[in-house]
Amino acid sequence: MQNYKAPLRDMRFLTHEVFSAPIAAAGGNGEALAPDLIDSILEEAGRFVEEKLLPLNASGDEEGCHYENGVVRTPKGFKEAYDLFREGGWTALACDLDYGGQGLPERVNKLVEEMICSANLSFGLYPGLSRGAYQALRDHGSEELKRRFLPKLAAGVWSGTMCLTEAHCGTDLGMLRTRAVPQADGSYALSGSKIFISAGEHDLTENIIHLVLARLPDAPSGTKGISLFLVPKFLPDEQDRPGARNGVLCTAIEHKMGIKASATCQLTFENAKGWLVGAPHRGLAAMFTMMNSERLSVGIQGLAIAEAAYQSAVAYARERIQGRSLSGAKNPNQPADPIIVHPDVRRMLLTMRAYAEGCRALGLWVADALDAVERGEGEKAEDFAALMTPVVKALFTDFGFEAANLAVQVYGGHGYIRDHGVEQYVRDARIAMIYEGTNGIQALDLVGRKLGAHYGRLLRGFFHPVAAFIGAHKEDAAIGKMVHALEKAFGALQLATAHIAEAGMRDPEEAGAAASEYLRLFGLVALGFMWARMAKTAATKLADGAEESSFYHAKLATARFYMERILPQAGALYLSIKSGKQAMMALAEAAF
């Protein structure tokens, strides 16, 4: 049985204690949201996902989606759950007030996203894609397109997708072939095929809005010739209701390893009517608004799986009795002790916990930057969000998959069979390391684009606060030992950064060879910084005699585990980076 309770206490700790700056509603009058209001939103979200979405997770995986003659039906219960989700206003949570949204910031929205995906990742993909489509259209669409389509997306009565991938090209979008021909009425006729389109066809909403990358007849070759188009499944009538069927058809759905209740579609466009979004030949820049949003959300999916897998593993470890504690029987009236007494089981549980809680903190730090960008606070916030996007996407999804595998290991043979549901977490988590740009691509983005951008300016938003915290707290009696561990890992990151910058200028393959290890090193230090901040907050609360002392003691214990058992990997990663490319590039291709 899958176990999940929304981690509301940890969310409150981060929201009100660690990141304690006031939270303002987006697009409002700048007044801070009351903490009680934020808590009530999170509590209601937790209640909804536990009661309505979690019960559908295993059954949705078992049943999957159904395809017949271009029509896709989601598993039993999904349509009813989505209707309740939409009626509850959850699709409008972070949408603009001008388009019928609630105007809540990403700092709150990302916590709700996490809860949805922990309870039912397949379900979460449907509104998640709509959120990305909303943002891309809001930032790049004409006023007419925004007026007609954004309120529908915010209300959740229409949903959205992004259509990039074609059978012959994935990451290399410069090779795409879908064509868009201008029409006399100012629209375009699109023809081509797309694959791997999440939520490309389903029965949850009355219309689906596809954002499609295609080429105009006069387009230059490569990525500089790509434009973005809005193509609805049904053409809106004069009252903006779904009208005639457009020339877009789902020709198949994929039979997948995981996320089986999410429809992954092959779409064919045959003179489908669409409208240009943004400027001609500037579609990739517009689509990256959606892709960057989705990459952060995919990172949250990894965190969500890690949390759900952790909770299930803890429940099993407390109940499963097997063997005796190495220090003597802890349960003498029973034939064996619960496996949670064994050091190796605790190693696995603490690793999962440290991943989930550390990623949650880092995710909120990045969400704060996104909110600052929305408020127009400029370059510093934009730089930080750009720098951290590949780290969040890749690190969180790597850790989510690792945590899901650890959960199976805690369960032993019972984890490998389907009865308990943890093997689903492994299958569901695996795709997050692939879609929206594989984690290897994220690493290349970090070292190839972000490190050298503006002469290293982007790094300041991370390096400067980490260095300042270390300088201020390394002699702190309560957390000084942890801060020294962070300082050592941070030093390795600084040396690795300098090495890649120097070696990469001589030979780009040197940077490429180091990219994945560098992203992992960067991510470990980032989580170390988060754990140091959380430890400082917890130690201060305990010194002040705060209630819930067990919560703060648990924070300090988990922080110590992270600093002593996980963060030291930074040293080995630095040595691997410094070794250079030869070990992986010297072998002749024919020898593989």
Residue 235: CB atoms within 10 Å: 17
| Contact yes or no for 63/76 (Cβ under 8 A) | yes
Which one of 106, 166, 436, 510 is the catalytic residue?
436
Which residues, at least 6 apart from 151, have a Cβ–Cβ distance to it below 8 Å?
99, 100
The answer for residues whose C-beta is within 8 angstroms of residue 154's C-beta and 6 or more apart is 91, 92, 95, 96, 99, 100, 101, 134
> Torsions phi, psi of 521, nearest 5?
-60, -45
Token duo for residue 33: 């949201």
The yes-or-no answer on residue 436 being catalytic is: yes
| Burial class (CB within 10 angstroms; exposed 0-12, middle 13-18, buried 19+) of 325 | middle
CA distance 329 to 316: 19
Total residues belonging to the chain: 592
* Percent composition of the chain: helix, strand, coil (DSSP 3-state, to 5): 60, 15, 25
Give CA angle at 25 (23, 28), nearest 5°: 135
H/E stretch holding 584 reads helix 582-585
Q: Which of 148, 139, 93, 95 is nearest to 116 (CA)?
A: 93
- State which amino acid sits at residue 349: L
Distance CA 217, CA 182 (A): 8
CB-count exposure of residue 198 (10 Å: 0-12, 13-18, 19+): buried
Contact 107, 368 (CB under 8 A): yes
Amino acid at 223: T
d(CA 44, CA 24): 20
Distance between CA 98 and CA 257 in Å, rounded?
40
Nearest Cα residue to 317 out of 336, 335, 337, 339: 339
> What's the token pair of residue 19?
């990141």
> Active-site positions?
436
